[in-house]
Amino acid sequence: MNTYEYPESRRLFERACHVIPGGIYGHFNAVPLSRAEAFPLYAARAEGARFWDVDGNEFIDYLCAYGPMILGYGHPAVDEAFRRQMQQADTVSLASPKMIELAEMLVDRVAIADWAFFAKNGADVTSYAVTIARAATGRNKIIAIKGGYHGTHPWMQPPGHHGIRLDDHAHYIRIPWNDYDALERVVAEQGDDIAGFIASPYHHPVFEDNALPAEGYWQQVQALLRKRGIVFIIDDVRSGFRLHRGGSNERYGFEPDLICFCKALANGYPISALVGTEALRTVTANVFHTGSYWYSAGPMAAAMATLEELDRLDAPRLFEEIGTKLNDGLLRIAQSHGYTLKITGEPSMAYYRITEDPSTILHQRWNAECTRRGAYVTPHHNWFVSTAHTDADLERTWAIADEAFAVVKNEGI
């Protein structure tokens, strides 16, 4: 199998280092990986489940832009809805009727939602949810999950990160995932000052096996939070509309007060949303939050087309089918080489780890060898599949994974 080289990516990266701190920032920065040279750095073109890097190499994409791409890049119906709206109006001095139509669509679709609010980033709405919880309760503290991610505002970054002060965390209490007893203890001790609880619908940290909710966990959590008047916030930014058409909480059978959506909402067009219950409507109207492009109508039209297309495809069922098939194949291939591939989280956005090497170097090497053969993956973040991933894509991916295992086996890691 041909392996890729990246001279143009490297040349561009050197140019980037002159004008961008670190060259590539944030979650797109693959540079710290061992064998970083096996990964491309810049994309020139994208279509369906594939992108082409600046060296002309073709990749089946298992990151899906880290979530936003859910229907395939350049989806005709979504792009057409966007273009049609852009010919009329996007960011203007007034809101667009599209905002109302999209809000109605979310209220119809999401069981707990009596209203919707739109912004640009996931963190715009996770931070807003936390502020609403404080305004609604008059309390200060927020309970979150250890290793949970809700964006890069200071309160959400791990203590010790550059520029983050201990104070930024003063009112955040981190408890382990799936640990109802820990929640109960914290609530018993500090319940009168706890404004809200925020978590992903299931636990999908980076650099760590993902974990589904234990049987009955969410129902216990919900009952306790309701009893103590603590606002129950679900961060569905990464998983929203992948696991259930009405939000991931419906898959697990529970009812939060606020749900944050973002990534897959408009198949890559920039928009995020907060939806919530009737009880929080008035307080939300009073908590001020705004941004320069939050009324842009183009991404709202794209979101409506995306949700319609997801329904047409019965997408959550399709994602589970594609993810399960991909994973079954990968497990079998790993085994045939004598490796154990541990796959955790939901099948359509699973987290992968080769258990034989706790240093993770082996896993990084296998990811690198997959990538330089045309299956774009990264080692310490969950992958994603889209509705555009075909059986032929999976078969090609299995062949790549097979050869990649053979290569790392030969290296004797």
**According to CB under 8 A, which residues from 97 to 136 bind a second copy?**
97, 99-100, 103-104, 106-107, 114-117, 120-124, 127, 131-135
Q: Is 32 in the site for a second copy (CB under 8 A)?
A: no
Q: Which residues of 52-83 are buried (b: 16+ CB within 10 A; e: fewer)?
A: ebbbebebbbbbbbbbbbbbbbebeebbebbe
Q: Is 307 in the site for a second copy (CB under 8 A)?
A: no
Beta bridge partners of 341: 354
Q: Is 161 in the site for a second copy (CB under 8 A)?
A: yes
Interacting residue with a second copy among 64, 145, 260, 394 (CB under 8 A): 64
Closest CB to a second copy among 91 and 355?
91
In the bound complex, what is the minimum distance in angstroms from residue 132's beta carbon to a second copy? 6
Q: Is 194 in the site for a second copy (CB under 8 A)?
A: no
In the bound complex, what is the minimum distance in angstroms from residue 385's beta carbon to a second copy? 13
Interacting residue with a second copy among 7, 32, 215, 282 (CB under 8 A): 282
DSSP letter for 212, please: P
In the range 338-357, which residues lie near a second copy by CB under 8 A?
none
Single-letter amino acid code for the residue at 261? F
Closest CB to a second copy among 364 and 386?
386
Interacting residue with a second copy among 46, 77, 111, 182 (CB under 8 A): 46
Binding-site string for a second copy from residue 204 to residue 243, where x marks contact by CB under 8 A and - marks none: ---------------------------------x------
Contact 73, 268 (CB under 8 A): yes
Q: Is 51 in the site for a second copy (CB under 8 A)?
A: yes
For residues 292 and 295, give the distance between their C-alpha atoms in angstroms, rounded to a whole number. Answer: 8
Q: Is 24 in the site for a second copy (CB under 8 A)?
A: yes
Size of the site for a second copy (CB under 8 A): 105
Longest Cα separation, the chain: 63
Contact 379, 35 (CB under 8 A): no
Q: Which residues of 136-151 are buried (b: 16+ CB within 10 A; e: fewer)?
A: bbebebbbbbebbbbb
Q: Which of 182, 284, 189 is nearest to 231 (CA)?
A: 284
Question: Residue 339 is encoded by which pair of tokens?
Answer: 């490796």
Q: Is 164 in the site for a second copy (CB under 8 A)?
A: yes
Closest CB to a second copy among 25 and 317?
25
Label the pairing between strands 141-145 and 194-199: parallel
Query: Which range, of 47-55, 181-189, 245-253, 321-329, touches a second copy by CB under 8 A?
Result: 47-55
Closest CB to a second copy among 364 and 378?
378
**End-to-end CA separation in angstroms for the chain:** 21
In the bound complex, what is the minimum distance in angstroms from residue 112's beta carbon to a second copy? 14
Label the pairing between strands 172-175 and 194-199: unpaired
Question: Residue 304 is encoded by which pair of tokens?
Answer: 């409506």
Contact 269, 244 (CB under 8 A): no
Query: Which range, of 264-272, 314-322, 331-339, 390-398, touches a second copy by CB under 8 A?
Result: 264-272
Contact 225, 232 (CB under 8 A): yes
Closest CB to a second copy among 92 and 313?
92
In the bound complex, what is the minimum distance in angstroms from residue 101's beta carbon to a second copy? 9
Interacting residue with a second copy among 35, 289, 337, 396 (CB under 8 A): 289
For residues 300 and 312, give the distance between their C-alpha atoms in angstroms, rounded to a whole number. Answer: 19
